[in-house]
Every structure is written in structure tokens, then in C-alpha cells.
Amino acid sequence: MSDLWWLVLLLFGLAIALLLLSMRERRKSGLPQAQVVYADTDLWQRVPETLVDHQLGLVGKPDYVMKTRQGSLIPVEVKTGHTPDAPYDSHKLQLMAYGLLIRSNYAQTPAYGLLHYPDKDFRVDFTPDLEAQLTETLEEMRQIESKKVVPARSHNSSARCRSCGYRGVCDQKII
């Protein structure tokens, strides 16, 4: 009987250790205290389908979509590398696009999204102005694409050039 109690204590201790490890990893991830309903990773679930909005011509996979206790959905985008003083406009537009994809796919409009950088998190409110800026940017991108014209390079970073989608046709690439 004594051996059985030791086994129960050992299993209980192991369960507590796993719970603490899980809590620590969750804190490190920067995710809010909410249920993960969509994750572009196989850590919590099978990777879900890409979100699509045919009307807007958008497709995407947010890193996470969280569901709060109140039932609100929040897109979370995790960024690596340098943590800026304020979120980059391109990151805010990407997050807004995920908000619109959530609206189309879950019939719920998020009020905000979260940008998680290594050293800081930013809340990005989904305002009509940000949505208009995204719509304008998408239209500019479509015009560039329809004209088959490569956009002007806006940087001097060879690393950005190496990962650019226009690299194969660009006459401005940095070697």
C-alpha cells in the first residue's frame, strides 16, 4: 500500500510540474489569458485552414486568434527581431487584415488586435481610419500588380531583398 501512495505522490508532483511549465510557456508567448481558437502552429491543435475573404480578396493565417471570457475574438501577431518603440505601420495593417478576415470567417468584428514583439506588446485598435488605410493600400497593391510594374525599392537592406516576393523580376535588387 505504501508503494501505491508514493506512486500517487509522484504522479501528483509531475502533474504540478507540467502545469507550472505550461503556465511559464504561456507567459513567455505573450498571449492574453484567453482560449486559443486558431493557431498557425501545431503546438495546440492541427494547423487550421487559411482564412479567406473573397469580397476583399484577402487570405491569411494569423499567428493566433484568442477568445476572451466575454466571447470577443482577438488576432495576435507574433514578431521576432527588433522591438520598435511603436508598432510599424505595415504590422498594424497586417493585423487589421486579420481583423477583417476574422469578421468574414467568424461573423464577429474584433475591436482590436495584439502585436507581440520580443520585448513589448502593443494593442492596435481597429478604427475606421485604419480599415480605410488598409483598403487604400490593398487597392494600390492591386494597381501595381495589374500594371505588371515592379514597385520602387523603399529600403537599402539586402536581407529584405532576399526575402522579397518581387526578387525574380526586380531591376533594383541589392546584391
Scan for cell 492596435, then name that residue: 124
**Predicted local distance difference test score (pLDDT) of residue 37:** 77
**∠ CA(149), CA(151), CA(156), 5° rounding?**
145
Cα–Cα–Cα angle for 39, 58, 100, rounded to 5 degrees: 65
| 175 closest CA partner among 167, 45, 29, 92 | 167
Per-residue pLDDT of the chain (175 residues; tens, 9 = 90+): 677 788 777 777 777 877 777 667 666 655 666 777 777 776 655 667 899 999 989 999 999 999 988 899 999 999 988 999 999 999 999 999 999 999 999 999 999 999 999 999 999 999 999 999 999 999 988 887 787 767 777 788 888 888 887 777 788 878 7
Q: Quick check: 78 and 30 in contact, CB under 8 A?
A: yes
pTM of the model: 0.72
SS3 of 157, please?
A: coil
Residue 171 is predicted with a pLDDT of: 81
